[in-house]
Amino acid sequence: MPIRIVLADDHVLVRQGLKSLLEREGFQVVAEASDGQEALRHVKSLQPEIAVMDISMPTLNGLNAAREVRRASPKTKTILLTQHDESQYIRDALEAGVKGYVLKSQVASDLVLAIRQVSLGQVYLSPGVSSAVMEAYQSKSEQSKNPLTLREGQVLQLIAEGKSTKDVASLLGISVKTAESHRTRLMQKLDIHETASLVLYAVRNGIVQP
């Protein structure tokens, strides 16, 4: 049986190219998604062996999607595609339960190998991030832990993308009152009280792209 994959990237041409690459290698792309929420829905319904996701996606970024995948489909292993080789991103990815971290600059040579290794229960990191991995672990004790819950992180991303509280509630399937409560709590935790400053925080911490 071929390895079954859900493929998520918000760029159609990138997705098409990756799908062709994977199918040439004998993998089965069972679903495609253009954002993190859609990817999560496919993972929940199809329970694939592998989820390949871009780290920067609208509505739910790759890191938060990976956290949700780990809860919704424990047997599904997540591989993130990213242009970021900084230690912060790698540390966050590993803590989110990601099993593969592939740089987009090396995707043609690395992705197939990553899928094969991850499907065997191993962890795969693009060679270009090896020094950053060491830095991530060496600095781990010096880094402050993310103060936000998973849901608060999702709300923050949507706010930073310009969504209203009503939009946030609709996208996350929660009440407007609950969405407003999450917004209030995350602003208190971060000691940030203006939307513009929230957006800046989200950009600086890689939650959304500028």
Q: Which domains are seen in the chain, by residue range?
A: 4-141 (3.40.50.2300), 150-204 (1.10.10.10)
**Looking at the DSSP assignment, which residues form a beta bridge with residue 100?**
79, 124
Helix (H) or strand (E) holding 54: strand 50-54
Tokens coding 204: 């600086």
Query: Residue 130 has what pLDDT?
Result: 60
Q: Is the pLDDT of residue 125 over 90?
A: no
Q: Is the pLDDT of residue 113 over 70?
A: yes
Q: Is the pLDDT of residue 143 over 70?
A: no
Catalogue the long-range contacts made by 97-106 (C-beta closer than 8 Å, 24 or more residues apart): 97/66, 97/67, 97/70, 98/63, 98/66, 99/123, 99/124, 100/124, 100/125, 101/125, 101/126, 101/129, 102/126, 103/128, 103/129
Name the residue with higher pLDDT: 37 or 133: 37
Q: Is the pLDDT of residue 148 over 80?
A: yes
Q: What is the mean pLDDT of residues 54-74?
A: 91
Query: Residue 139 has what pLDDT?
Result: 56
Q: Is the pLDDT of residue 83 over 60?
A: yes
Q: What is the mean pLDDT of residues 64-91?
A: 87
Phi, psi of 151 (to 5 degrees): -65, -40
**Looking at the DSSP assignment, which residues form a beta bridge with residue 136?**
none
Model confidence at 142, pLDDT cuts 50, 70, 90, reads very low
Model confidence pLDDT, tens digit, residues 19-57: 999 999 999 999 999 999 999 999 999 999 999 999 989
C-alpha span between 111 and 106 (Å, rounded): 8
> Whose CA is closest to 110, among 135, 85, 91, 138?
85
> Whose CA is closest to 152, among 129, 172, 131, 122?
172
C-alpha span between 120 and 108 (Å, rounded): 20
